Amino acid sequence: MDEQTICAIATAPGRGSIGILRISGQSLAELSRSLIGFRPKPRRAHFCDFLDAGGTALDRGIALFFPAPDSFTGEDVLELQGHGGRIVLESLRERALALGARQARPGEFSERAFLNGKLDLVQAEAIADLIDADTRQAARSAARTLTGEFSRHVHSLAATITGARVMLESAIDFSDSDIEVLESAEARQTLEGILSSLERLRAQSRQGALLNEGITVVLAGLPNAGKSSLMNALSGEQTAIVTPIPGTTRDLLSRRIELNGLPLQLVDTAGLRESGDAIEREGVRRARVAMASADLILLLLDASRFPDCSGELNPGEIRIALNPIADYLANEDDRKNLLGRLCIIRNKIDLLELPPALGHIRVEGIALPLVQLSAKTGAGLDLLCKHLQDFVAYEGGEDAFVARARHLEALDEARRQCGAALANLSRGAPLELLAEDLRLAQAALGRITGEVTTDDLLGEIFSRFCIGK
Ligand SMILES: Nc1nc2c(ncn2[C@@H]2O[C@H](COP(=O)(O)OP(=O)(O)OP(=O)(O)O)[C@@H](O)[C@H]2O)c(=O)[nH]1
Ligand SMILES: [Mg+2]
């Protein structure tokens, strides 16, 4: 580990009543004497002058000293709280540099805290997430992760897996008892318990990722259904071109919006139809790609195209709207996957004088959410917003964790390996195979908290922090 003293201005740039310079290093005794004229007492607020090389005051404020190992980084930490002017803070920083410190890289204080065992990786990431949180809900779940709740779940799962491994390894050593262990209901129960805990944690974590990054909502449907109009109505600006000509939109058009504190990435797409036009064909191809990766697809129907059906929506209409992706729907897995993320929007209700509504419609045996609205008059938009909010909150926001993509991948990997162990147990495979499955599951969990890491991963994580954190 780098042993050089680091320093950074920890408060946001610009004018402010208070500005903080943070310094961390193996020993700050000498530096303190030069910078404030004495060695501060641990964890005491000293009101003093901050001195330049000639002993003249650059500023006057509070000095706080946290000796190793009881500090944020686990090293000696000195914090100088002075006035929040750009020049005065800059002079103070230059003075610390002249005394042998170097400018900290983004996230370097947190990285040192991690390397010194003050935080695990999940907690360090939660700091960045808390600072970056756009919404109260995201901030709340980052704060929960920061207190170590997510880590405790991961550690306790890892400990259960260790227990199972010990049991297996001892059975391998005394191979006579192979049969007993293999057939013991206890082994199966343990594995099933681990698997269901992993699944619970995975469900809670998905929520965190949605809160943090926002969900991607794709507007899709036949040409002229009103996708671009709905995009404009939701984003509150004339983002997309709207015309009565079918096939107006070709490119994907993205807008990040916030709906009552909920971040959403809206994507408008080309109308789904077979076309002779090469540009439009490419647009439709892109629309399908966007649909495949969307968290939620709003499938728009033009209510006025089915004037006979003035009341109930006919599943036949939905089939027509889905026709252009019929080949996709022919695959069992794809169909399930798509229908699970679909919300039907019956647009242009003003033309039929239908009331706005939020309900369900059964398509292929699955109840799909249905919203009746008018992108033109705005009737029913509030119902759509409510549906979007419920969609994000469906797993209960309160016990959500801010998880990142890498946490989810690791949880999935652990789940896969535990599933493999269970399958191996069922078919009476050699115990060595089970032990290996569990070892891999445990390694996957270790990657979450940082017990198993690479320098590349650490660099990647900490470089996204702000300077001074
Ligand atoms: N009366 C009425 N007209 C609407 C409504 N929504 C959209 N329209 C009209 O329908 C036409 C097509 O709207 P767009 O928003 O361009 O439809 P689109 O689905 O984006 O169409 P493509 O980009 O061609 O696929 C325009 O003339 C809109 O003014 C609505 O709720 N009520
Ligand atoms: Mg359009």
In short, whether 106's Cβ falls inside 6 Å of ligand 1 is no
Residue span of the structural domain in which 177 resides? 127-210+404-450
Q: Of the ligands numbered here, which is closest to the C-alpha atom of 272?
A: 1
CATH of the domain at 377: 3.40.50.300
Tokens of 235: 């984003």
Coarse DSSP helix, strand, coil percentages of the chain, rounded to the nearest 5 percent = 50, 20, 30
Q: Is residue 457 part of a domain?
A: no
C-alpha pair distances (Å), 274 with each of 87, 222, 270, 283: 63, 10, 11, 11
Q: What is the pLDDT of residue 197?
A: 93
What is the domain-level CATH number for residue 201? Answer: 1.20.120.430
Ligand 2 center–CA 343 separation, angstroms: 18
**Rounded CA separation 392/295 (Å):** 10
Q: Which of 94, 119, 144 is the last residue of a domain?
A: 119
Give domain status of residue 393, yes or no. Answer: yes
Do 250 and 289 belong to one domain? yes
- Residue identifier of the C-alpha nearest atom 11 of ligand 1: 244
Residues 356 and 413 in one domain: no
**Looking at the structure, do residues 27 and 12 belong to the same domain, yes or no?**
yes
Asked if residue 463 is part of any domain, the answer here is: no
223 lines ligand 1 (CB under 6 A): yes
pTM value > 0.75:
no
- Return the best residue to mutate from 235, 241, 242 for the ligand 1 pocket (most ligand atoms within 8 A of CB): 242
Q: Ligand 1: does its nearest atom lie under 6 Å from the Cβ of 263?
A: no
Whether 258 and 362 map to the same domain: the answer is yes
Residues 158-187 as b/e (b if ≥16 CB within 10 A, e otherwise) read bebbeebbebbeebeeeeeeeeebbeeeeb
Residue 466 belongs to a domain = no
**Using alpha carbons only, what angle is made at residue 338 by residues 333 and 344, rounded to the nearest 5 degrees?**
150
Residues 205 and 218 in one domain: no
275 lines ligand 1 (CB under 6 A): no
Residue 70 lies in a domain: yes
Phi, psi of 197 (to 5 degrees): -65, -40
Q: Which of 336, 368, 399 is the last residue of a domain?
A: 399
Kindly give the number of the ligand 1 atom that is closest to the alpha carbon of 270: 25
| Residue bearing the CA closest to ligand 1, atom 9 | 226
Q: Is 242 in the pocket of ligand 1 (CB under 6 A)?
A: yes
| Residue 191 identity (one-letter amino acid) | L
Q: Nearest residue CA, atom 13 of ligand 1?
A: 226
Q: What span, in angstroms and rounded, lies between the C-alpha atoms of 6 and 4?
A: 6
For the CA of 232, the nearest atom of ligand 1: 15
Is 461 inside a domain boundary?
no
Supply the CATH number for residue 94's domain: 3.30.1360.120
Please give the distance, rounded to the nearest whole angstrom, from the Cα atom of residue 347 to the centre of ligand 1. Answer: 9
Span from the CA of 323 to the centroid of ligand 2 (angstroms): 18
**148: left (phi > 0), else alpha (psi -120 to 50), else beta?**
left
- In 10 A of CB 93, how many CB atoms? 20
Instruction: Please indicate, yes or no, if residue 79 is contained in any of the structural domains.
Output: yes
Question: What token pair was written down for 183?
Answer: 């057939």
Print pLDDT tens along the chain (469 aa): 678 999 999 998 888 999 999 999 999 999 999 999 999 999 999 999 999 999 999 999 999 999 999 999 999 999 999 999 999 999 999 999 999 999 999 999 999 999 999 999 999 988 988 888 777 777 887 888 888 888 999 999 999 998 888 888 877 776 655 555 555 678 888 899 999 999 988 878 766 666 666 789 999 999 999 999 999 999 988 989 999 999 999 999 999 887 766 778 999 999 998 888 999 999 999 998 999 889 899 999 998 886 655 456 677 777 777 776 777 677 777 777 788 788 999 999 999 888 999 998 887 777 889 999 999 999 999 999 989 888 876 534 566 777 787 888 899 999 999 999 999 988 888 888 999 999 999 999 999 988 877 777 788 788 878 777 8
Is residue 347 within 8 A of residue 321, CB to CB? The reply is no
Centre of ligand 1 from the C-alpha of residue 229, in Å: 6
CB of 246 shorter than 6 A to ligand 1 = yes
Question: Which residue lies with its CA nearest to atom 7 of ligand 1?
Answer: 226
Q: Are residues 228 and 293 in the same domain?
A: yes
* Six-digit token string for 70: 């009881």
pLDDT digits (tens, 9 = 90+) for 324-369: 677 767 777 777 778 878 899 999 999 988 899 999 888 777 788 9
Ligand nearest the Cα atom of residue 224: 1
In the reported structure, the alpha carbon of residue 219 is separated from the centroid of ligand 2 by a whole-number distance in angstroms of: 9
pLDDT digits (tens, 9 = 90+) for 378-423: 999 999 998 988 887 653 456 677 778 788 889 999 999 999 999 9
Same domain, yes or no: 254 and 223: yes
- Asked if residue 251 and residue 358 are part of one domain, the reply reads yes
φ, ψ dihedrals at 402, nearest 5°: -75, 105
269 lines ligand 1 (CB under 6 A): no
225 lines ligand 1 (CB under 6 A): yes
Query: Is residue 469, in this structure, part of any structural domain at all?
Result: no
What is the distance in A from the centroid of ligand 1 to the CA of 368? 23
- 386 and 239 within one domain: yes
Domain boundary among 119, 142, 174: 119
- Number of domains comprising the chain: 3
Give residue 291 CA to ligand 1 midpoint distance, Å.
20
- pLDDT at res. 240: 93
| CA of 291 relative to ligand 2 center, distance in Å | 15
Nearest Cα residue to atom 14 of ligand 1: 226
Burial class (CB in 10 A: 0-12, 13-18, 19+), 299: buried
Shared-domain flag, residues 37 and 180: no
From the alpha carbon of 249, which atom of ligand 1 is closest? Answer: 23
Same-domain status, 192 and 131: yes
Q: Are residues 96 and 161 in the same domain?
A: no
